[in-house]
Amino acid sequence: MYDPKSLKAEEFISHEEILETLDYAERNKDNVELIDQIIEKARSLKGLTHREASVLLACDIPEKIKELYDLAEQIKKDFYGNRIVMFAPLYLSNYCVNGCTYCPYHLKNKHIARKKLTQEEVRKEVIALQDMGHKRLAIEAGEDPVNNPIEYILECIDTIYSIKHKNGEIRRVNVNIAATTVENYRKLKDAGIGTYILFQETYHKESYEELHPTGPKHDYAYHTEAMDRAMDGGIDDVGLGVLFGLERYKYEFAGLLMHAEHLEAAKGVGPHTISVPRIKAADDIDPSAFANGIDDEIFAKLCALIRVSVPYTGMIISTRESQAVREKVLRLGVSQVSGGSRTSVGGYQEEERPTDTEQFDVSDQRSLDEVVRWLMDMGYIPSFCTACYREGRTGDRFMKLLKSGQIHNCCQPNALMTLKEYLMDYASEETHQVGQALIEAELDRIPKEKVRLICEDHLKKIEEGIRDFRF
């Protein structure tokens, strides 16, 4: 029985409810009156249920799809302005005991080079990332209780936060590791992590078990209920995501929104972020072997629908996607992008991008500086801000500020000040010039004059060498 407040995976992600939803969507995909009602509800910023959003996903009426895209763009502007948060992944270890059929780190892959960073190697990776200009990392590790126990992850987090190199420092560490216990989530919270991110991969239980034939990740319920345990462990911000291409995208989309609805119903706050990865080639993984791949148009529609369905949630896109795809979905709702990413263990220390331990092929291989300049050329503000996390604006506190619109008095100046730091410390001359002009133009968009004047003063002090101002 479907129950969004239930703590049982098969009740808050109900297979029967998803099938009924897909049938309902198919029957109503040309119901213009209903589609207009759903779009109007989304326009009121109340979000959409999984059933309502599924009707729009099934709809292929060109003018209605255009309305959807225009609305997604407007909602993105209303809540996130033209700010794009920057981050980079940091791979700690590719040792893994699971048998995931879509990931090259699976246990049976005997020819991939296995590597685990020592704390000194972590330090070198972090310095390399700091020297690029990054302030926010997402750490990644395979599931291996012997090689990658929680103690190792905690030690790495402590090492990352401890490193101050020149003007560089990592101010927020997000964590993407395997589902674990409430006790371990409490330890991660105490270590000062930002968001806990865990991709569901697929919400279709039967497919999930086939795709994860061996290892602890085979347990569908334990994995699907991880976010509840993370919140029980005190982690305010959690990030959802599916790996599009493993199952039918309409099924996955409904399941993803049901998971968001569940967190809202059971824990009082929905996901802080939603990621939208697609399966990509890597080592012994061939994406064409999976029958449910989606093209760029469907991918863009999914991004737009996530934006209008959960308007207050951040959306993340990685360097899995090409520059062209990233450019399109930035307009439709994406609010965080990675730049200069390497998906191999120890990859940032190497002058040339190594491929022997990559988790997936990187489509967008531009440097961080190139990505920053590209964003600015399109009118976006690349933001290295981590202020909300460090000021305690997380979970429901963050959502209240976002929904009220007051967040702009924090986010806009913080974005400009962290961009200024990047320009002063790391940018190429061309990027510095473009960025300085952008900052001067964007200062007037800070809503409160008092905040704007303080921001202007801080910007001058950044030029004098002082760092880390925040509202």
Tokens at 209, concatenated: 């078990």
- With tokens 């099924």, the residue in question is 251
Q: pLDDT value at position 47?
A: 96
Write the DSSP string, 324-357. HHHHHHHHHT--EEE-S---STTGGGSSS---TT
| pLDDT tops 90 at residue 350 | no
Integer Cα distance of 289 and 102 in angstroms:
9
What pLDDT, on a 0 to 100 scale, did the predictor assign at position 359? Answer: 72
Contact 198, 190 (CB under 8 A): no
Angle in degrees, CA 184, 187, 192, rounded to 5: 135
**Nearest Cα residue to 467 out of 168, 172, 173, 192:** 168
Residue 354: pLDDT band with limits 50, 70, 90: low
Query: How confident is the model over 156-164, as a mean pLDDT?
Result: 98
The matching CATH number, chosen from 4.10.520.10, 3.30.450.20, 3.40.50.720, 3.20.20.70, for 82-365 is: 3.20.20.70
Q: Give the type of residue at 216.
A: P
Rounded to an integer, the average pLDDT of 302-331 is: 96
The CA distance from 121 to 193, in Å, is 20
Residues 311 and 47 sit within 8 Å (Cβ to Cβ): yes
Q: Is the pLDDT of residue 162 over 80?
A: yes
On whether the CB atoms of residues 193 and 171 are closer than 8 A, the answer is: no
264, 268, 271, 213: which is closest to 241 by C-alpha? 271
406, amino acid identity:
Q
Looking at every residue in the chain, the average pLDDT score rounds to: 95
Q: Check whether 428 has a pLDDT greater than 70.
A: yes
CA angle 97, 101, 106 (to 5 degrees): 25
| Mean pLDDT for the stretch of residues 344-363 | 77
Residue 353 pLDDT level (bands cut at 50, 70, 90): low
The partner residues of 337 in beta bridges, in order of sequence, read 86, 317
- The tokens describing 364, both together, are 């967008």
DSSP calls for 30-96: T-HHHHHHHHHHHHTT----HHHHHHHHH---HHHHHHHHHHHHHHHHHHHTTEEEEEEEEEEE---
pLDDT at 357 over 80: no
pLDDT score, position 356:
61
Summarised one tens digit per residue, pLDDT across range 108-154 is 998 899 999 999 999 999 999 999 999 999 999 999 999 999 999 99
- Name which of 32-36, 176-180, 379-383, 389-393 the model is least confident about: 389-393
| 83 phi, psi to nearest 5 deg | -90, 135
Listed in sequence order, the residues at least 6 apart from 1 whose beta carbon sits closer than 8 Å to its beta carbon are 11, 14
* % of the chain beyond a pLDDT of 90: 85
What pLDDT does residue 403 have? 74
Q: Identify whether the C-beta of residue 121 lies closer than 8 Å to the C-beta of residue 92.
A: no
Does the pLDDT at position 424 exceed 70?
yes
- The tens digit of pLDDT for each residue in 56-99 reads 999 999 999 999 999 999 999 988 999 999 999 999 999 999 99
